[in-house]
Amino acid sequence: DVKVTQSSRYLVKRTGEKVFLECVQDMDHENMFWYRQDPGLGLRLIYFSYDVKMKEKGDIPEGYSVSREKKERFSLILESASTNQTSMYLCASSSSGAYGYTFGSGTRLTVV
């Protein structure tokens, strides 16, 4: 089975800190995605990548950046964390979408 691993289940960071959320997949998928999930708002796409060193903005990219230096790893970066970035962050990967998406277990980030 495809596995998507998010490095942290829970994180607490201070306002203004630079935060790195890491995601690794083990099935050579081309596509990787970062979503955030908030009550009442559902899942919203932050950034995605179709290949190494490629990135595309999703619906809510402001305040975030990403890095994909290797095919298996997709990092989400909060340049200067703010309290409104407190959320559940979900990483996913897919192989051209034909076989659907696989999600990681999520990172619950709290910014204080």
Partner 1 sequence: KQEVTQIPAALSVPEGENLVLNCSFTDSAIYNLQWFRQDPGKGLTSLLLIQSSQREQTSGRLNASLDKSSGRSTLYIAASQPGDSATYLCAVAHSGYSTLTFGKGTMLLVSP
Binding site for partner 1 (CB under 8 A): 6, 31, 33, 40-43, 45, 48, 50, 58, 88, 90, 92, 96-106, 108
Q: For partner 1, give the closer residue by CB, 45 or 77.
A: 45
Give least dist CB 53 to partner 1, A.
17
Give least dist CB 64 to partner 1, A.
15
Give least dist CB 31 to partner 1, A.
7
Q: For partner 1, give the closer residue by CB, 50 or 67.
A: 50
Give least dist CB 65 to partner 1, A.
18
Q: Specify which residues 90 forms β-bridges with.
A: 35
